[in-house]
Structure 1
Amino acid sequence: MNILNIGSERTTYHVELAFSPLFEAALGIAAVTYDDIRPTLEQPAEYWEQLVKELDPAVQRELDYAKQYNTWKTLLQLLHQRSFADLSSFLSYITELSPAELRYQALPYLGDELQIVRHQAASGKKSAILALQNACSSHLFFPAYIAHIAYVEQETLRNHLLLLMKGWYDAHIKPRQTDINRILERDFTYKKAMRDKLSAEAFVEWATHGSYPPEPAITRVLLIPHVIYRPWTIHANDVGTKIFYYPVADDSLHDSTDPYRPPQTLVQTLKVLGDEHRLRLVKMLSEKELSLQELTERLGGAKSTVHHHLSLLRSAYLVESKENKYRLKREALDKMPALLQQFLGDRADEGH
């Protein structure tokens, strides 16, 4: 077949990088208030319990509020409105926002076609609020989040955000701010050096462990490193922008190299595979792509339990989902022998 292409070439996005301990604070609040995700994170349960215990009782109450209404999402959205030099400038920004602007910035961006509806919802129009909820009805928490943002007294929301962010930052970021900044900056510098060596799409896949093909409305991809939510990459959207909060690389965590420290990728993979049920799932998915329902029927047990196992496999980048089907990322398994051999090094007695 002869094809004549008279269209324009396929365009892609440009990639930007940014880092700030303010994002680390907001993501820490997100992690500690998300019960289902914590078992998949690097830090053990006792770590998260201790973080909560170290907070002032008044801040703990705000943390409970954030857990109920997912207001960590509000903090992240506000952080993307401008570049903030420090905590003080961010808190001042929140303080100076009008009630209508605070509500608008807190409501999630759901696409250019719904921006007018978003403005109407921020002004209190009930039909617009319902339209936003309907547009994201399948999302895990957006419908309830939208309802809360739309109807809560804005001074209540403002005071909650100020107290929560300052309380968490003072307790968990400020004492370690130098170390946190050093880790984030190391990873930022490393990624920035690699950005010009790869295409935009290849760079995003390398940095985030996930592919992101261009979308018509997206001209910019923003990558933000984090430590607290490792090993997960979190996706978000803003006007014209796709945001990835990605886990810093293992080497960025330490000033010097410890030859006996195993790569976190290897640790996470072996930890996740050290379970009979998850190995069964890997075997099933090695044969073909399957849905959650199909996997549940084959494995037996509760669907929620199977979903939990799949979440752990996804956290180690061994499994991915698309269009309600799960597939095994065989290339990740294929890397394991090389990762193990690289860690062990050459045998000292080789050749004897």
Structure 2
Amino acid sequence: MDILQSTSRERETYQVKFSYSILWECALGIAAITNTKLLDTLDKPKEHWMNIKGSISDDLSEQLEFVEKNNTWKALLQILHQQEFSSLEVFEQYVQDLTDTELKFICLPFVGNHYQSYRRQAAQGGSDSIKELKRITALNPFFPAYIEFISTCKAASLKKHLIKVMSSWYQEIGEEYQQETEAILEKDYQSKKEVQQKVSSEELVQWATGGVTYIPEPSVHTVLLIPQYIYRPWNIEADIEGTKVFYYPVANESVSPSDRYMPDYFLVQKYKALGDEVRLKMVKLLSEHPRTLQDMTERLDIGKSTIHHHLKILRAAKIVEIRDSKYCLKKNVFSLLAKEFDWYLEK
């Protein structure tokens, strides 16, 4: 049944903010090198990470083993969201000054406003609250074990570890490339800020992340975009109170600012994906309405495995997504693509 609009009020959306620093890069570098299964998929070749592992001190190697076992990279990111840290020393002092309960509360993941009391009680070691948080996050691949660890570990040991792994990574890895890395992050930050004046908040998030469609949620008033170089080409998504966070991969032109002809990675992938007769037919089919794999197979009279292969390419290019068990075009994907191409020509 059609719905008559009885109000002229625009649909609420979110505010987009930006942040970047070498400390975010350090924390994400620690996350990357301890996620062994992911190393083959990162922009930097696996040999790069193996060389780092072979060159670091025994102390840092020991700390990274602890990170890999307990996923304490998440704790580092949680702490970095508490304020703007101007230096490693400020970060270290902040962690040192936290009470045991404050530290654990910050490190525990935010899972919704309704569960904040469980989070506080779990930070104090409440077994029932720990159990409830683990139940709520049961579908997450590491949250339950991480929650158990943070809630029950010795806070003094956790402090020592977090300070040690962050400072060691910064001194042995991050500091050497700090000037180059900060220049890349600053370039990307500035380019996204310029585009912010030209598009909606939702289009900005979709463009910056290379295709993530984030629809406003009632309890989320801010989206925080954090450019990162070390974890390319992946987006990392997180939640903090009132805010959705995307640590998004910096664009190609930010990495090579002297080459004004360098196109954005996702722009290239979109046009590559569209440069095929079968995939264009699929796009036209999906422009009519969402479809199942079986439906497209029958309409195009092509083998299911072939259709699936083409859909995989379209999904990787952030043109197609799965929603309610059907394939559909991402919202505003082609109107935004036209704008992206104009921005490339104008730069």
Q: CA deviation at 1:7?
A: 8.8
Q: CA deviation at 1:321?
A: 4.2
Q: CA deviation at 1:216?
A: 0.2
Q: CA deviation at 1:184?
A: 0.4
Three-state SS of the structure 1 residue aligned to 2:212 is coil
Q: CA deviation at 1:193?
A: 1.1
Residue in 2 that maps onto 1:228: 230
Q: Distance in 2 between matches of 1:196 and 1:328?
A: 25
Three-state SS of the structure 2 residue aligned to 1:36 is helix
Q: Distance in 2 between matches of 1:27 and 1:255?
A: 23
Residue in 2 that maps onto 1:219: 221
Distance 1:321 1:3, change over 3 A: closer
Residue in 2 that maps onto 1:256: 258
Q: Could you state the TM-score of these two structures normalised by the residue count of structure 1?
A: 0.79
Q: Which amino acid aligns with 2:124?
A: S
Deviations, residues 306-348 of structure 1 (Å, cap 9, x unaligned): 9xx96x986653664445666687969xx8xx99xx99xxxxx
1:165 matches 2:166 = yes
Contact 2:70 2:146 in 1 (8 A): yes
Residue in 1 that maps onto 2:127: 126
Structure 2 residue aligned with 1:237, among 239, 263, 267? 239
Three-state SS of the structure 1 residue aligned to 2:247 is strand
Distance 1:266 1:194, change over 3 A: closer
Distance 1:323 1:42, change over 3 A: farther
Q: Distance in 2 between matches of 1:320 and 1:84?
A: 37
Q: Distance in 2 between matches of 1:94 and 1:157?
A: 10
Q: Distance in 1 between matches of 2:28 and 2:68?
A: 13
* Structure 2 residues without counterparts, runs of 5 or longer: 294-303
Residue in 2 that maps onto 1:24: 25
Three-state SS of the structure 2 residue aligned to 1:37 is helix
1:66 matches 2:67 = yes
Q: Distance in 1 between matches of 2:185 and 2:95?
A: 25
Deviations, residues 125-175 of structure 1 (Å, cap 9, x unaligned): 100001111111101110111011011111111111111111111122101
Contact 1:201 1:211 in 2 (8 A): yes
Residue in 2 that maps onto 1:202: 203
Distance 1:8 1:271, change over 3 A: closer
Residue in 1 that maps onto 2:111: 110
Residue in 2 that maps onto 1:14: 15
Residue in 2 that maps onto 1:75: 76
Q: Distance in 2 between matches of 1:40 and 1:319?
A: 21
Q: Which amino acid aligns with 1:189?
A: Q
Three-state SS of the structure 1 residue aligned to 2:109 is coil
Contact 2:253 2:263 in 1 (8 A): no
Distance 1:264 1:201, change over 3 A: closer
After TM superposition, list the pairs within 5 Å mapping 1:1-352 onto structure 2. Answer: 3=4, 5=6, 9-208=10-209, 209-257=211-259, 264-265=265-266, 316-317=317-318, 320-323=321-324
Q: CA deviation at 1:242?
A: 0.5
Q: CA deviation at 1:258?
A: 7.0
Please say which of residues 31-40 and 99-108 is displaced more in the overlay.
31-40
Deviations, residues 92-143 of structure 1 (Å, cap 9, x unaligned): 1111111111110000000000011110110111000011111111011101
Q: Could you state the TM-score of these two structures normalised by the residue count of structure 2?
A: 0.80
Q: CA deviation at 1:51?
A: 1.7
Q: CA deviation at 1:265?
A: 3.9
Contact 1:120 1:128 in 2 (8 A): yes
Three-state SS of the structure 1 residue aligned to 2:36 is coil
Three-state SS of the structure 2 residue aligned to 1:81 is coil
Three-state SS of the structure 1 residue aligned to 2:37 is coil
Q: Distance in 2 between matches of 1:67 and 1:323?
A: 34
Q: Distance in 2 between matches of 1:69 and 1:322?
A: 33
Equivalences, count: 321
Distance 1:212 1:258, change over 3 A: closer
Q: Distance in 1 between matches of 2:69 and 2:322?
A: 27
Q: Which amino acid aligns with 2:44?
A: Q
Q: Distance in 1 between matches of 2:55 and 2:69?
A: 20
Distance 1:266 1:207, change over 3 A: closer
Deviations, residues 249-271 of structure 1 (Å, cap 9, x unaligned): 11001231175x67534777899
